[in-house]
């Protein structure tokens, strides 16, 4: 199949490479000319502009967008729109908000598939997990490409109608936050607790047969191996947060309690306070107010 890929960064390049490896023809475009040149070296047909891109695709276009979520998707769709019709298929493989995806599915002239993509750049060799929403015929049509980009046929599925793919990926990311927080708390107790432990060894042991083994735990093992048990110079600051915020907002609107996901998100926000958490500093001062407990002060 001929596949057009727009966005050749960390994730889009993997989509292009895996499609090429499976024997598909790839037409590739990115606003970064160097990224286009690099994927051309790998066997893709380079497009120097969006006009060149759509011209090379011809009729019955199959297009995979892998650009940052938000304005970049709308900008790419606005440029593509005059060239699309209802026989074409557009896949958004980024972390878009599911409500943006349902809106785009209604307004895009082509069939629109919202595709939650999990695995990250580390899954270049193994393939991704793909959670897809949108019309069944379009999902069936793109299945050979999904087989190639995912771990295989078991690595992708149609979740339901428009929006459902990105909805499932949003919740996936909420779970990701909570799991990271749970591992973080456990290792913090081990790090600060009674025994002088080699945390790489703990993680390796857990990864071999323990109930809590997982890929995230393998990444913990890798982090301790590379940074040391004390995590060396790794800062107490966690970026990101958009998909976790959406998960919590959606849980509130559905009145579903998600305290673990909320706590993990709040910990991230708390990690970014410039001078330590204001709330913790106030609690420190209040203990003096009611109990005359000594106030710990920074230098
Ligand atoms: N990095 C990760 O671990 C994961 C990322 N995602 C999602 O995948 C999407 C892409 O992420 P990354 O590849 O990590 O980002 P990236 O920043 O590495 O790459 C984005 C690419 O899109 C290009 N681009 C931006 N606007 C464009 C436009 N209008 N036309 C053509 N090219 C354009 C940029 O030049 C860049 O090469 C995002 O929505 C992200 O949230 C999803 C799962 C995992
Ligand atoms: O989707 C992903 C993994 O599944 C991306 O890595 C995403 O960036 C993670 O979310 P955050 O940036 O909020 O940590």
Task: Find residue 116's DSSP bridge partners.
Answer: 131
State residue 134's pLDDT score: 98
Task: Give me the pLDDT at residue 274, please.
Answer: 86
Instruction: Check: CB of residue 63 under 8 Å from CB of residue 82.
Output: no
Q: What confidence score (pLDDT) does residue 275 get? A: 84
pTM of the model: 0.96
Please, are residues 62 and 34 in contact by the beta-carbon 8 Å criterion? Answer: no
Q: Which two tokens stand for residue 154?
A: 């078991």
State yes or no: is 176 an active-site residue: yes
Say which ligand is closest to the CA of 130.
1
Annotated binding residue at 95? yes
Residue 208 is assigned to a ligand binding site: no
- Please give the pLDDT value at position 188: 97
Question: Which one from 60, 141, 169, 185 is the annotated catalytic residue?
Answer: 169
**For domain 169-273, which architecture applies?**
Orthogonal Bundle (1.10)
The C-alpha atoms of residue 125 and residue 167 are separated, in whole angstroms, by 26
d(CA 239, CA 233): 16
Domain regions of the chain by residue span? 2-161, 169-273
What is each CA distance from 262 to 118, 173, 177, in whole angstroms? 21, 12, 9
pLDDT for 172 equals 98
pLDDT tens series, the chain, 299 aa: 999 999 999 999 999 999 999 999 999 999 999 999 999 999 999 999 999 999 999 899 999 999 999 999 999 999 999 999 999 999 999 999 999 999 999 999 999 999 999 999 999 999 999 999 999 999 999 999 999 999 999 999 999 999 999 999 999 999 999 999 999 999 999 999 999 999 999 999 999 999 999 999 999 999 999 999 999 999 999 999 999 999 999 999 999 999 999 999 999 999 999 888 888 889 999 999 999 999 999 87
pLDDT at site 126? 97
- Predicted confidence at residue 285, as pLDDT, reads 93
In the chain, DSSP assigns E strands to 2-6, 25-29, 45-46, 62-65, 89-92, 111-118, 129-133, 156-160
- Of 67, 73, 79, 168, the one to substitute when testing ligand 1's pocket (max ligand atoms within 8 A of C-beta) is 67
Establish whether 127 is an annotated binding residue.
Answer: no
Q: CATH second-level architecture of 2-161? A: 3-Layer(aba) Sandwich (3.40)
Residues lining ligand 1, judged by CB closer than 6 Å?
6-12, 29-32, 35, 66-69, 72, 75-76, 94-95, 117, 120-121
Structure-token pair, residue 86: 């209802």
Testing ligand 2's pocket by substitution, the residue of 172, 243, 248, 266 carrying the most ligand atoms inside 8 A of its CB is: 243
Q: Does residue 226 contact residue 220 with C-beta atoms inside 8 Å? A: no
Q: What is the predicted pLDDT for the residue at 281? A: 87
φ, ψ for residue 238 (rounded to 5)?
-120, 120
Counting from 1 in the atom list of ligand 1, the atom nearest the Cα of 96 is: 39
In the residue annotation, 87 being an active-site residue is answered as: no
Residues with CB under 6 A from ligand 2: 95, 118, 120, 173, 176, 240-244
Please report the pLDDT score of residue 122 as a whole number. Answer: 94
């Amino acid at each position: 199949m001929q596949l057009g890929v727009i966005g050749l960064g960390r994730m889009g390049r993997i989509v292009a490479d895996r499609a090429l490896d499976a024997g598909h023809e790839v037409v590739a475009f990115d606003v970064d000319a160097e990224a286009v040149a690099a994927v051309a070296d790998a066997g893709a047909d380079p497009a120097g502009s969006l006009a060149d891109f759509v011209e090379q695709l011809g009729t019955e276009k199959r297009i995979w967008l892998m650009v940052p979520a938000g304005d970049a998707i709308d900008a790419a769709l606005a440029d593509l729109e005059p060239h699309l019709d209802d026989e074409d298929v557009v896949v958004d493989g980024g972390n878009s908000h599911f409500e943006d995806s349902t809106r785009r599915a209604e307004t895009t002239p082509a069939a629109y598939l919202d595709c939650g993509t999990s695995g990250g750049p580390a899954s270049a060799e193994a393939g991704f997990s793909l959670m897809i929403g949108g019309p069944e015929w379009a999902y069936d049509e793109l299945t050979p490409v999904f087989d190639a980009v995912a771990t295989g046929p078991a690595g992708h599925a149609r979740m339901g109608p428009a929006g459902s793919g990105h909805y499932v990926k949003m919740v996936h990311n909420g779970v990701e936050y909570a799991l990271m927080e749970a591992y973080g708390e456990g290792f913090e107790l081990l790090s600060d607790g009674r025994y002088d432990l080699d945390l790489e060894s703990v993680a390796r042991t857990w990864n071999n047969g323990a109930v809590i083994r997982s890929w995230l735990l393998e990444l913990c093992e890798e982090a301790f191996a590379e940074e040391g048990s004390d995590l060396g110079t790794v800062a107490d600051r966690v970026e990101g947060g958009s998909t976790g915020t959406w998960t919590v907002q959606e849980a509130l609107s559905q009145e579903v309690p998600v305290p673990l996901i909320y706590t993990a998100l709040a910990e991230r926000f708390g990690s970014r306070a410039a001078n330590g958490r204001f709330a913790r500093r106030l609690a420190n001062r209040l203990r003096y107010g009611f109990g005359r407990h000594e106030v710990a002060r920074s230098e």
